[in-house]
Each structure stands twice: as C-alpha cells, then as structure tokens.
Amino acid sequence: MFKQFIVALGALVAATAFAAVDVNKADQAELESIKGIGPALSTQILGERKKAAFKDWHDLTTRVKGMGDANAAKFSQNGLTLDGKAYASPAPSGAVPTGPAAPAAKKKTSDAGASTKK
C-alpha cells in the first residue's frame, strides 16, 4: 500500500512539474515555478501585464526587459506558454518571408559598353 502511495505521489509531482504556465494568467508564484524566472523577472512580467495582456511572444520579449528571444525559448521549454502556445523563434534575419510574394525590383540596365551587331 505504501509503495502505491509513493508511486501515485511521484506521478502527481511529475505531472504538475510539466504543467504549462500561461504568462497572461499566472500569478507570481506560478511564474517563479518556471526554471530561470525569479522574483525580479516575474515582477516585471506582472507589471507589464497590468498595462495590457501580452498579444504574442514578440510583444512579451519587447516589453519585458531581460526577456529576449533566447530566454523566451528557454522558459517555453520549461513550461511557459502565452495563450496556450509555446514560443516559436522568429525568422532569422535575411530569411525569405512566407505569404504573398513581393513584386521583384526592376533591375537597371546600362547601355554603356554594350556592343551592337549589324
């Protein structure tokens, strides 16, 4: 009986350890349960959230000092979500955007040095 209790308790602890914590709904203790988020960062998150809920991960990373893309990715891997969604890294600079294609720029050509055949 005691072994079953220990196994059940362990399963409960494991399940709650990986429970998602939504940055728009969590209190300070829940935010601090995410590895890497301490009192200073959780206070900043809550202060910014009082002004307005975070629209997306980009909004969170730009409004909260110390919450860059690298930390957002790390915190998300540790269970932090935003409106139920995990962090998705932004497209690297120079990446080709998806969606409607932009019209190609017209290339200027020069007649200088062009040969003419007759």
- pLDDT averaged over the chain? 78
pLDDT for 7: 45
pLDDT for 112: 53
Say what the alpha-carbon torsion angle 12, 83, 71, 17 is, to the nearest 10 degrees: 0
In the predicted structure, residue 52 carries a pLDDT above the cut 50: yes
Tell me the mean pLDDT in the region 67-76: 95
**Pairwise pLDDT comparison (68 vs 111), residue with the higher score:** 68
Whole-angstrom distance, CA of residue 81 vs CA of residue 54: 11
- Domain boundaries in the chain? 2-81
2-81 CATH pick, 1.10.150.320, 1.10.287.3610, 1.10.10.10, 3.90.25.10: 1.10.150.320
Could you report the per-residue pLDDT of 2-31, keeping only the tens digit for each?
Answer: 565 454 444 444 444 457 999 999 999 999
Say what the alpha-carbon torsion angle 69, 72, 76, 80 is, to the nearest 10 degrees: -150
Tell me the mean pLDDT in the region 66-78: 95
